[in-house]
Amino acid sequence: MVKPKQTTAGFSLIEIMIVVAIIAIIAVIAVPSYTGYVERSKCTDAQADLMELAQWMERRYASNFSYRTAADEAPTLPFDESPENAIAAEAAFTITIATPDNSSFTLTATPTTRIRTVANGGACGTLTLTHQGVEGGWI
The predicted-structure confidence for 39-78, as pLDDT tens digits, reads as follows 778 888 888 888 888 888 888 888 888 887 655 555 555 4
Domain-embedded: residue 8: no
Residue 108 domain flag: yes
Select from 50, 46, 57 the least CA-distant residue to 129: 50
What's the 3-state SS for 8-20?
Answer: CCCCCHHHHHHHH
Nearest to 133 by CA among 36, 69, 33, 50: 50
Count how many domains the chain has.
1
Domain extent, residue 44, equals: 13-136
Q: Give the count of beta carbons closer than 10 Å to the beta carbon of residue 109.
A: 24
Render 28-72 in DSSP notation, one character per residue. HHHHHHHHHHHHHHHHHHHHHHHHHHHHHHHHHHHHHSSSS-TTS
Residue 120 lies in a domain: yes
List phi, psi (to 5°) of 116.
-110, -70
Query: How many Å separate Cα 13 from the centre of its chain?
Result: 42
Rounded to two decimals, the pTM is 0.64
pLDDT in tens, the chain (139 residues): 667 777 777 889 999 999 999 999 999 999 888 888 887 788 888 888 888 888 888 888 888 888 876 555 555 554 554 444 444 445 677 888 876 778 888 888 888 766 654 444 455 778 888 888 777 765 4
CB within 8 Å of 44: residues ≥ 6 apart = 139
122 part of a folded domain: yes
Could you tell me if residue 124 is inside a domain?
A: yes
When the pLDDT of each residue in the chain is averaged and rounded to a whole number, the result is 75
Q: Is residue 30 part of a domain?
A: yes
Phi and psi angles of residue 62, each rounded to the nearest 5 degrees, phi first: -65, -30
Contact 80, 89 (CB under 8 A): no
Does 45 reside within a domain? yes
Considering the domain boundaries, does residue 48 fall inside one? yes
